[in-house]
Amino acid sequence: MTSSGLRAKGKSNLNASITVALDAMGGDHAPDMVVAGADLARTRYPKVKYIFFGDERRIEALLEKRKALRPLVSIHHTDDAVDNDTKPSVALRSGRQSSMRLAIDAVAAGRADCVVSAGNTGALMAMAKIVLKTLPGIHRPAIASFIPTARGESVMLDLGANIECDAENLVQFAIMGSIFARTVLGIPEPTIGLLNVGAEQLKGNDAVRSAADILRGNPVAGLFHGFIEGNDIPAGTVDVIVTDGFTGNVALKLAEGMGKLYSGFLQRTFRSSLMARLGYLLAIGAFRKLRARVDPRRYNGGMFLGLSGVCVKSHGGIDAFGFANAIGVAVDLVAQGFNERISAELQRLAPAAPLQQ
Amino acid sequence: MTSSGLRAKGKSNLNASITVALDAMGGDHAPDMVVAGADLARTRYPKVKYIFFGDERRIEALLEKRKALRPLVSIHHTDDAVDNDTKPSVALRSGRQSSMRLAIDAVAAGRADCVVSAGNTGALMAMAKIVLKTLPGIHRPAIASFIPTARGESVMLDLGANIECDAENLVQFAIMGSIFARTVLGIPEPTIGLLNVGAEQLKGNDAVRSAADILRGNPVAGLFHGFIEGNDIPAGTVDVIVTDGFTGNVALKLAEGMGKLYSGFLQRTFRSSLMARLGYLLAIGAFRKLRARVDPRRYNGGMFLGLSGVCVKSHGGIDAFGFANAIGVAVDLVAQGFNERISAELQRLAPAAPLQQ
């Protein structure tokens, strides 16, 4: 596997002084895939440095085979790691020496510029909130991710950090998503859609209706598309999809599952007859390109937006290729100065347009 | 197009005395696709009769070209129809002579066994609730539909009738969905999953956690799989997917949109090179089968469960083939005696297992 499939857009000359804190013990295949992922990310960002938090002996053993990575790496040993089934509140209390917590601490202390973990999402969000704090003006951070669409890709938030959201939360997600699309994706005027059960103004629950009312009168309003429905997500109707964490989590996992379903259908179709098998042999090059385009590992990396520090959550079951993409997402957020830009934008918006009704 | 693609499972000998009330004016392509849809359904259910509610002159003109259908049809003229953007409350007050309302009235009066409409969903649900009433023991009806999965198909509810749901609503949806799967789909022990953001017991909002607690202690509990996530929908992890109307509506439309996205990707892939085009020519037969398998028109027909009368909502933008499938769904519900069975089952369950905590 080459680095050419990595989707991160950062320019390597920008990344000379970036250090990434890695939770080496988070994820189903840790620490192996964390080390291998960093080595793969190195081919794209040759100057980025890494601090691995976790079992030093195991990490050292893995690094022995990776000579080019070794000089870029320092290791911070700890025996403790957060389990996947640990409650966030328990992880907060008793996980102060965990690989996850120490990696976040490194960002707060300025020893690293961003943190990437494939561990327990709830624990990571709880620790990141306590340690890094939310940006001034932001009540609740949100998890955002890219999602492939017919028009390219959109960004969707929240994906599970906030199970129940009020109108103000949704408005803040819209603003953060919009700044993200402008600064990181480089879309000059990103459109924002609020996920609902219908496009008409009277549809939905109180939170989405009130959020839409506020967004219609906001400086981002020119870009507020209005309500969108489930089918608008893959259609790419808007650049930024805003929803509560319950709906967003279900939608993201459903979209990934549908990808698997169709890829299974496709495999069975090509195997269903001799003619179909021959057809596949002819079309194999084109299908390799399609597979790379929709590979869910390219879209790995949930960004925690709204924190005073860059924190990216990788899928737990991911491999090195997917983990390298999550590293790329974190490096890009740092290189583009996302947190500085979002703070400046929030300050610019705040006096002119109160976020509350 | 032949009738062989219709997915309805009813046996024609069962349908000798079934009469379907059709809202001839509901849907983007009404009344043409309503008449053409009934004619297509006739090839599958040759003895079913139809009452068309709507503009008699236009319906008569359309029937002139459909000699075999004509003897099975009677027409009830009305000038009034419910618009797509009419609020349900307004439709209730001022739509008493609408084609939609008169079709529902025919079921309440016993002149028809079921009603099918491709019109305004909110108005149809509001009218059906008022006219047909809910079944004893059911607080809120739900909209259910089939959804294609890796294992075949599952049934999902609610799809938009109830934007906010409490635990008791979700439990009732689980019971209705389970009876539906047993009686209409013929699955002896259907499994039930509650859609959530994670599989662990502590995940989600109060409603899903309390509903899960109740279902674990219920007679349907043996079949209660527990929480499922978005990716479990296309995986076919359970037979019955239970969720609130907001999440269910987004999920259904997203799943349909993902189907379109992948079908677009597939077309572009086969057109991307000469080799790929040749490959398509060889595999064309296999791909025709795949297209028929995932055709969203096969899954058309949202069933209103929990009413004292069979009411099926077709997609508004559907063609005759899809509308014929919605008719098939309604005829099947009548032929299988779904409402009688659900009433009997609710009575059987009620004393042994109170639905409230």
For A273, nearest residue in chain B (alpha carbons): B286
The encoded tokens of residue A214 equal: 């506020």
Lowest mean pLDDT among A51-55, B140-144, B165-169, B341-345: B341-345
Q: Which of A132-146, A250-264, B1-15, B57-71 has the lowest mean pLDDT?
A: B1-15
Q: What is the mean pLDDT of residues B334-352?
A: 77
Query: What spatial distance separates the first Cα and last Cα of chain B, rounded to whole Å?
Result: 51
Residues in A closer than 8 angstroms to B197, CB to CB, are: 160, 163, 245-246, 249-250
pLDDT-based confidence at residue B213 (cuts at 50, 70, 90): very high
Flag the least confident range among A68-72, A250-254, A258-262: A258-262
Distance (Å, rounded) from C-alpha A157 to C-alpha A301?
13
The whole-number pLDDT of residue B288 equals 86
Instruction: For chain B, give the mean pLDDT.
Output: 89
Tokens of A16: 């000379």
Per-residue pLDDT tens over the stretch B123-147? 999 999 999 999 988 889 999 998 9
Q: Is the bond into A31 cis (omega within 30 degrees of 0)?
A: yes
What SS3 state is found at B118? coil
Among residues A252, A322, A323, the alpha carbon closest in space to that of B231 is found at A252
* A256 reaches B (C-beta below 8 A): yes
Lowest mean pLDDT among A297-301, B104-108, B154-158, B317-321: A297-301
**Residue A4 confidence (pLDDT):** 41
Residue B153 CB partners (closer than 8 Å, separation 6+): B146, B147, B236, B299
Task: Using the predicted structure, report yes or no on whether residue B70 has a pLDDT greater than 80.
Answer: yes
- Chain B nearest C-alpha distance from A164 (Å): 7
Give pLDDT, residue B44. Answer: 92
- Give A21's Cβ-side CA count (13 Å radius): 25
pLDDT tens for B175-204 read: 899 988 887 778 889 999 999 998 777 788
Which of A231, A256, A293 should we substitute to test contact with B (largest number of B Cβ atoms within 10 Å)? A231
- B96: DSSP letter: T
Give the number of other Cβ atoms within 10 Å of residue B85's Cβ: 9
In terms of residues, how long is chain B? Answer: 357
Share of chain B above pLDDT 90, in %: 63
Question: Residue type for B55, please?
Answer: D
> What is the model's pLDDT at position B222?
61
Q: Report pLDDT for A23.
A: 98
Interface check for B316 against chain A (CB to CB < 8 A): the answer is: no
How do the domains of chain B map onto residue ranges?
3-137+306-337, 142-295
E-assigned strand segments in chain B? 19-23, 49-54, 73-77, 114-117, 142-149, 152-157, 192-195, 224-228, 240-242, 302-305, 310-313
Q: What is the pLDDT of residues A134-146, one digit of tens each?
A: 998 888 999 999 8
Closest CA to B115 of B15, B20, B18, B38: B20
Tokens encoding B13: 């000998």
pTM: 0.89
Q: Is the pLDDT of residue B22 over 80?
A: yes
| Whether B231 and A290 lie within 8 Å, measured CB to CB | no
pLDDT at B101: 98
In sequence order, what are the residues at sequence separation of 6 or more whose Cβ sits closer than 8 angstroms to the Cβ of residue B93? none
pLDDT value at residue A10: 45
What integer best gives the mean pLDDT of chain A? Answer: 89
What integer is the mean pLDDT of B74-94?
Answer: 94
Most confident among A212-226, B185-199, B225-239 (mean pLDDT): B225-239
Q: Where are the beta strands (DSSP E) in A119-267?
A: 142-149, 152-157, 192-195, 224-228, 240-242
3-state helix, strand, coil in chain A (%, to 5): 50, 15, 35
Compute the Cα dihedral for A329, A332, A333, A338 and give only its sign.
negative
| Residues of chain B with C-beta less than 8 angstroms from the C-beta of A262 | 258-259, 262, 294
CB-based contact B76:B51 (threshold 8 Å): yes
Taking one residue from A and the other from B, the number of pairs with CB-CB distance under 8 angstroms is 198
Homologous superfamily of domain range A3-134+306-336? Isopropylmalate Dehydrogenase (3.40.718.10)
On the 0-12 / 13-18 / 19+ scale of CB atoms within 10 A, A343 is: middle
Check if the beta carbon of residue B262 is closer than 8 Å to that of residue A257: no
* CATH superfamily of this structure's domain B3-137+306-337: Isopropylmalate Dehydrogenase (3.40.718.10)
The answer to whether A205 faces chain B, any CB pair under 8 Å, is yes
**Cα B339 to Cα A334: distance, rounded to the nearest angstrom:** 59
Contact A319, A297 (CB under 8 A): yes
Contacts of A293 in chain B (CB under 8 A): 265
In Å, how far from its chain's centre is CA B47? 22
Distances (CA, A) of A338 to A15, A178, B301: 14, 12, 46
Do A273 and B285 contact (CB within 8 A), yes or no? yes
Which uninterrupted H or E stretch holds B297?
A: none
CA B118 to CA B54: how far, in whole Å?
13
User: The tokens of B193 are what?
Assistant: 């999953």
Residue A171 has pLDDT above 70, yes or no: yes
Average pLDDT over residues B32-50: 96
Q: Give chain A's radius of gyration (CA, Å).
A: 21
Identify the CA nearest to A312 among candidates A68, A71, A34: A34
Per-residue confidence (pLDDT) for residue A290, from 0 to 100 = 84
Confirm or reject contact between A160 and chain B (CB < 8 A): yes
Beta carbons within 10 angstroms of residue B170's beta carbon:
25
Measuring CA to CA, how many Å separate B318 from each of A188, B253, B324, B325? Answer: 37, 14, 10, 10
**What's the average model confidence in pLDDT over A224-239?**
96
Asked if the domains at A3-134+306-336 and A142-295 fall in one CATH topology, the answer is yes
Residue A3: pLDDT band (50, 70, 90) is: very low
In tens, the pLDDT along B236-286 reads 999 999 999 999 999 999 999 998 898 888 888 888 888 888 888 888 888
Instruction: Report the SS3 class of residue B145.
Output: strand
Q: Is B173 within 8 Å of B135 (Cβ atoms)?
A: no
Residue B166 phi, psi (nearest 5): -95, 180
CA distance B193 to B174: 8
What's the pLDDT at A279?
Answer: 87
pLDDT, one tens digit per residue, over A10-22 is 444 455 689 999 9
3-class DSSP assignment, residue A273: coil
Mean pLDDT of the A340-349 span: 78
CATH number for the domain whose boundaries are B142-295 = 3.40.718.10
Which of A85, A246, A265, A293 best tests the B interface by mutation, with the highest count of B CBs <10 A? A246
Q: Which helix (H) or strand (E) holds A75?
A: strand A73-77
Q: Give chain B's radius of gyration (CA, Å).
A: 21
| Residue A283 confidence (pLDDT) | 85
Q: How far is A122 from chain B (nearest CA, A)?
A: 10
* Residue B1 pLDDT > 70: no
pLDDT one-digit tens code per residue, A177-213:
998 888 777 888 999 999 999 877 778 889 999 999 9
- Distance, in Å, from the CA atom of B114 to the CA atom of B18, rounded to the nearest integer, reads 8
Binding-face residues of B in 267-296 toward A, CB within 8 A: 269-270, 272-273, 275-276, 278-287, 289-290, 293-294
The pLDDT score that the predictor gives to residue A64 is: 95
pLDDT at A356 over 50: no
Token pair 């306590």 is found at A130
Q: What is the mean predicted confidence (pLDDT) over A245-266?
A: 92
Asked if the model's pLDDT at residue B12 lies above 90, the reply is no
pLDDT of the residue at A289: 85
pLDDT at B248: 97
Q: Are B234 and B241 in contact (CB under 8 A)?
A: no
